[in-house]
A = this chain, B = another copy of it.
């Protein structure tokens, strides 16, 4: 872990103002390791509130902007202007802001979903390549050390050929129509703001991305998705969905995405089954990874231990036994974003710029998966070729 401010990236935010939990998480993660320095922000749709918040955060008042376009324009003219920006606004604005940021030659960190269609995502990808800028997407647990361990275990053949991929993110917090009282939930079930899906995009893409990290060599060939609106007022958006996927190596996968899994806290779980062994991980007890070799006792791998693969120990902050959680996973991600950005300037510690992180392709694949799921579901939960 870097104990230095050298190379800290000048950083701004769009959205995530006062009272925003997600904004707070972004700042906590970006500032944790002194790899970013917050210098500007368009935090709020209410310009005055946004400026006041900026001042409270210790920014110069003039760098608390009324909107993202004026921020991008003004910062571009400053010699000390922002080099990167994070986007923590409602889903329907991600595409436009992301595009504008890239057009101003900024590196981008964007909340998922990156956008609503594959076509948009591909446009952003082309743009990011043209401008030589990274786009990071905040699939937070992709930064967890045990996900790295899982990735290297699969790469190393510890599981053998992969056969079954069971994914779920199934909480119960929206079992009742809480959006009637809670505005912060309301937009999530409104297609205008949320896009073509609720839980598929908002929830299901998280474990899906983790599976892509762990199983980069597998390709979905076709899928089918059944989605339901158990709280009827949420239709056409779903609050529960089951997706089946066939992979090019013959493996079968399932994703259970739900906001109505009553009584469950998060329920983000992965189980990857290979011909020799399985691994299982649960975000609510994230420091443990179950490693189950057929015919041997189950082994419980612990974060921070010497027996893990080196890749799983790079991000260790404190040694085994001490629990780390979501915040460390996010901070690890932001550090990897920083390494990737600095790597383009030759400033990253050696080798660090190669660390995996959810970039533009992760954002694109999430959008693609939702698009395929919705296409299947809307046709009656039929199989569709993945495209």
Contact = CB atoms under 8 A, between A and B. Distances in A.
Given A263-B298, A297-B299, A307-B296, A4 B57 contact: yes
A1 to B, nearest CB: 7
A294 interface: yes
Contacts of A274: 262
A346 interface: no
A57 B5 contact: yes
Contacts of A319: 21
Interface in A250-303: 250, 252, 254, 256, 258, 260-266, 273-278, 283-287, 291-302
| Chain copies in the assembled complex | 4
A24 B33 CA distance: 10
A317 interface: yes
Nearest to A25: B318
B254 A262 contact: no
A127 interface: no
Contacts of A297: 291, 299-302, 305, 307
Interface of A: 1, 3-6, 18, 21, 24-25, 28, 32, 34, 53, 56-58, 159, 163-164, 166, 171-173, 175-176, 224, 226, 228, 230, 240, 242, 244, 246, 250, 252, 254, 256, 258, 260-266, 273-278, 283-287, 291-302, 305-307, 317-328, 380-383
A207 to B, nearest CB: 14
A171 B320 CA distance: 11
Nearest to A280: B263
Nearest to A37: B58
A20 to B, nearest CB: 9
Given A254-B254, A262-B275, A321-B266, A163 B240 contact: yes
Contact of A325 (B173, B261, B307, B325): B325
Contacts of A228: 163, 250, 252
